Amino acid sequence: MKLDNIIKNPNKGFVLIGTNIGLDNQDHTKLKKLIGSKIQVDKLDGTICELDVLDISISFSIANLPLIGISVQESEHIKEIKKGSLVRI
């Protein structure tokens, strides 16, 4: 999924927000299985980091495309992740 934003939520920690048009026709409930595992982020500088998934939220845009929020454990790598990075889920 392409990262659209990173927010710090007081209740959820850091949340990576993105869209994945490739998931449009898939069963989104499978994403909940990522909780407790790690995801890989390909940063814009060409490096890779792994983050621990704490929670997943899924909503849909007005165009009915999935908007995915991945709550991750705080890490030193968060500061280096920028909009446009690739989150491998």
pLDDT tens-digit map of 32-41? 888 999 999 9
Q: Rounded to an integer, what distance in angstroms lies between the CA atom of residue 53 and that of residue 37? A: 6
Q: Is the dihedral of CA 23, 43, 70, 88 positive or negative?
A: positive
Domain total of the chain: 1
pTM: 0.85
Contact residues for 72 (Cβ-Cβ < 8 A; gap 6+): 13, 14, 15, 16, 39, 51, 52, 53, 54, 78
pLDDT digits (tens, 9 = 90+) for 11-20: 888 999 998 7
The domain spanning residue 37 has which CATH number? Answer: 2.40.30.10
pLDDT digits (tens, 9 = 90+) for 35-58: 999 999 999 999 999 999 999 988
Range of the domain at 48: 1-88
Query: Tokens 């990075």 — which residue?
Result: 85
